[in-house]
Amino acid sequence: MTRDTAAGGNGERARGTAAGPPPGDVSPANGGAARPSLLRSGTVMAVGTTVSRVTGFGRTVVLAAALGTQLLGDAYNTANTIPFVVYDLLIGGLMASVIVPFLVRRRKHDADGGRATEQRLFTVAVGGLLALTAVAVLAAEPLIGLYAGRFTTAQSEVAVLFARFLLAQILFIGVSGLSSAMLNTRGRFGAPVWAPVLNNLVISGVATVFLVVAGPGRTPETITDGQIALLGIGTACGMVVQAAVVQCALWASGFRWRPRLDLRGSGLDEALRAAGWMLVLVCTMQAGFLITANLANRAGVAAATRGADVGAGLTAYNYAYQLFQVPYAIIGVSVITVLLPRMSAHAADRDWGHVRGDFSHGLRTASTLLVPIALVLAVCATPLCIAVFARGSTSVGDARVIGGVLTVFALGLIPFAAYQLMLRVFYATGDTRTPALISIANVTVHGSAGLAAYLLLASHQVVMGIAAGFMFSYVCGLVLGGAVLSRRLGGVDGRRIISTLVRLYIAALPAAAVVVGAQRLGGSVLGDGPVAVVGAILAGCALGAPLFLAAGRLLRLSEIRDLGETVRTRVFRRG
């Protein structure tokens, strides 16, 4: 396994000063030693994340076939989203923003390498998670009522029964998240991205069994308590397996948990102070999801009761979002996860030049692949969703709604990824206040746009309007956050980033056109079967990739040249 040190590679910190950023560009992109390490570690994560997301995609397809995207699907997905919301609201948001930078500093400065701090943190976290899980399970009914806008009576009852089982996941989500954060500070990125594969396989197996036992077309009125228990317990078991795998990896790294409650002088108060603003950020983000869930669920019920006969609620929105997350998770999260410990170490040394360079290099590196993927995903979203979702309990009309939402999400992929990386720069510097304030503006934009979509659009189009408002909010947040960071870091390499993005989009247009042509030609010759549609899109990608690379070279995109060199080094030379 390729690993980076917790300090973020060997670096060249002497170039920075405590007074502020040094002149000039000293980023890894300009020849620093960090680039190969970023590419190697990013590749390890990308491979694992690819397998995880592919199996996650399979899980989503099986769930869609088993439950559909109408009222029963909305009941299950609302109940299964709440444990992640509760965890994020009270604990999860601290992991990437507070815990990782905090542990990096402790491992670097404490005489024992931060071991005592890790023991205390793990003890407090497990105790808090146990209490939180128990309270959430007892409060299942009011929690469902909070997110289920105008559910029918039967739909609400089913959602509450699902939640009784699914809220137990909070404990295991928390253990998995904390263990993953501790592994990341050790420079170990593999297990956290491979463990979800088993989770996906377990849930896919459970959904398949449900489909065989219950058959397609189940509704909130016809599903039995035993079938609800099968899905609820099976889904929770998937998270149990994931947490166990990550915990085993942490054990293998040398961590041995010995409960410690001697918190005085532990430094945890430092993390808690930073967590104050993080709590504002997480609450604001969850307020945004609360708005989304209620508006989408209301639209789904309205579409069903008005005879639209398509799933246009939270399930359609969630499935499109999950597909949209695949390229971001494989590429963007891989880069972000590797960069956060490195940026935290540079920020601890007040080496603002390297922090700025890490941000610029990370965004440009990720965008080299994300830009062409975003364009292809946007133009092929609807036929792709029909090909993979239109079976079992999901109709062609249901799949078209998912495709429309996915198109909107894909168009906002780059601003979304850039915003997420920008947040990690704030977190690396120990600043959670600014992201919290920016998030208020984001949610205001998102909520206003979602409400306007609900009031102005047809019920089956509301989720597309909500998605558009969601993505536009990240554009606004990126502008605000970029302005703040530019003042703090002496610039964010904005001119170079924008120039690279513009040229990447220009280079990707011919490739996207080829993919569209291949998909349409394949449809006219081979028909619209799933294999034919997916095969035509893949063939178009294979034909369009050389065009993208050639156009990038003509436009003098050094990022594409670096990508080509990495592929040749890691594939052809090994062969």
Average pLDDT of the chain is 84
Q: 290: exposed, middle or buried (C-beta count within 10 Å: 0-12, 13-18, 19+)?
A: middle
Tell whether the model's pLDDT for residue 556 goes beyond 80: yes
DSSP β-bridge partners for residue 17: 20
Taking only the tens place, the pLDDT of each residue in 153-167 is 999 999 999 999 999
Residue 327 · residue 370 · CB < 8 Å: yes
Average pLDDT over every residue of 279-302: 89
Average pLDDT over every residue of 389-405: 93
Smallest CA-to-CA distance from 554 within 516, 514, 508, 517 is with 508
User: Predicted confidence band at 1 (pLDDT cuts at 50, 70, 90)?
Assistant: very low
Taking only the tens place, the pLDDT of each residue in 57-88 is 899 999 999 999 999 999 999 999 999 988 87
Residue 199 lies in a domain: yes
Q: What is the per-residue DSSP string for 165-187?
A: HHTTHHHHHHHHHHHHHHHHHTT
Share of the chain above pLDDT 70, in %: 85
Residue 423 · residue 481 · CB < 8 Å: yes
pLDDT score of 456: 95
Taking only the tens place, the pLDDT of each residue in 184-240 is 778 787 788 889 999 999 999 999 999 999 999 999 999 999 999 999 999 999 999
Torsion angle of the four alpha carbons 182, 188, 190, 193, in this order, in degrees rounded to the nearest 10: 30
Distance CA 464, CA 462 (A): 5
Q: What residue type is assigned to position 81 of the chain? A: T
Taking only the tens place, the pLDDT of each residue in 336-351 is 777 777 888 888 888 8
In which residue are the tokens 């990386």 written?
Answer: 421
Neighbours of 468 (CB within 10 A): 21
Torsion angle of the four alpha carbons 286, 408, 194, 122, in this order, in degrees rounded to the nearest 10: -10
pLDDT score of 333: 78
DSSP-derived letter for residue 21 is P
Average pLDDT over every residue of 353-382: 91
375 and 505 part of one domain: no
Q: 531: exposed, middle or buried (C-beta count within 10 Å: 0-12, 13-18, 19+)?
A: exposed
- Ramachandran sector of residue 556 (left: φ over 0; alpha: ψ -120 to 50; beta: rest): left
Residue 4 lies in a domain: no
DSSP-derived letter for residue 373 is H
pLDDT score of 241: 97
178 and 279 part of one domain: yes
pLDDT score of 408: 96
User: Predicted confidence band at 113 (pLDDT cuts at 50, 70, 90)?
Assistant: confident
User: Predicted confidence band at 568 (pLDDT cuts at 50, 70, 90)?
Assistant: low
Tell whether the model's pLDDT for residue 15 goes beyond 50: no
515 and 452 part of one domain: no
Residue 26 lies in a domain: no
Smallest CA-to-CA distance from 2 within 188, 173, 165 is with 188
Residue 18 lies in a domain: no
Using DSSP, state whether 215 is helix, strand or coil.
Answer: coil
What pTM was computed for the model? 0.80
Residue 8 lies in a domain: no
Taking only the tens place, the pLDDT of each residue in 184-197 is 778 787 788 889 99
Where is average pLDDT lowest: 210-219, 325-334, 478-487?
A: 325-334
Residue 13 lies in a domain: no
Distance CA 226, CA 223 (A): 8
Taking only the tens place, the pLDDT of each residue in 508-536 is 999 999 999 998 888 778 777 888 888 99
Tell whether the model's pLDDT for residue 254 goes beyond 90: no
Tell whether the model's pLDDT for residue 3 goes beyond 50: no
Tell whether the model's pLDDT for residue 89 goes beyond 80: no
192 and 169 part of one domain: yes
Q: How many domains does the chain have?
A: 2
pLDDT score of 40: 58
For residue 398, give Cα distances in angstroms to 62, 389, 391, 461, 527.
15, 8, 10, 12, 20
Distance CA 62, CA 185 (A): 35
117 and 251 part of one domain: yes
Q: 112: exposed, middle or buried (C-beta count within 10 Å: 0-12, 13-18, 19+)?
A: exposed
Q: What residue type is assigned to position 537 of the chain? A: I
Collect all residues with Cβ–Cβ distance below 8 Å to 248 and sequence separation of at least 6.
191
386 and 528 part of one domain: no
Q: What is the per-residue DSSP string for 479-494?
A: HHHHHHHHHHHT---H
Residue that terminates a domain, selected from 459, 492, 525: 492
User: What is the token pair recorded at 82?
Assistant: 């709440």
Return the higher-pLDDT residue of 459 and 275: 459
Collect all residues with Cβ–Cβ distance below 8 Å to 169 and sequence separation of at least 6.
83, 84, 235, 236, 239
Residue that terminates a domain, selected from 440, 475, 492: 492
246 and 374 part of one domain: yes
Torsion angle of the four alpha carbons 235, 238, 242, 244, in this order, in degrees rounded to the nearest 10: 110
Q: What is the per-residue DSSP string for 385-431?
A: HHHHH-STT--HHHHHHHHHHHHHHHHTHHHHHHHHHHHHHHHHTT-
Q: What is the per-residue DSSP string for 499-555?
A: HHHHHHHHHHHHHHHHHHHHHHHHHHHH-S-HHHHHHHHHHHHHHHHHHHHHHHHHT
Smallest CA-to-CA distance from 149 within 285, 289, 301, 288 is with 301
119 and 76 part of one domain: yes
423 and 567 part of one domain: no
Using DSSP, state whether 12 is helix, strand or coil.
Answer: coil
pLDDT score of 256: 84
Average pLDDT over every residue of 366-378: 93
388 and 403 part of one domain: yes
394 and 503 part of one domain: no
Distance CA 499, CA 504 (A): 9
534 and 480 part of one domain: no
Residue that terminates a domain, selected from 463, 492, 521: 492
End-to-end CA distance of the chain: 19
- How many residues are recorded in the chain? 575
Tell whether the model's pLDDT for residue 268 goes beyond 90: no
Residue 12 lies in a domain: no
Strand locations in 217-262 (E): none
Neighbours of 487 (CB within 10 A): 9
pLDDT score of 108: 74
Q: 419: exposed, middle or buried (C-beta count within 10 Å: 0-12, 13-18, 19+)?
A: buried
**For residue 547, what are the domain limits?**
494-575
Residue 298 lies in a domain: yes
Distance CA 398, CA 402 (A): 7
Smallest CA-to-CA distance from 288 within 473, 437, 433, 422 is with 473
DSSP-derived letter for residue 557 is -
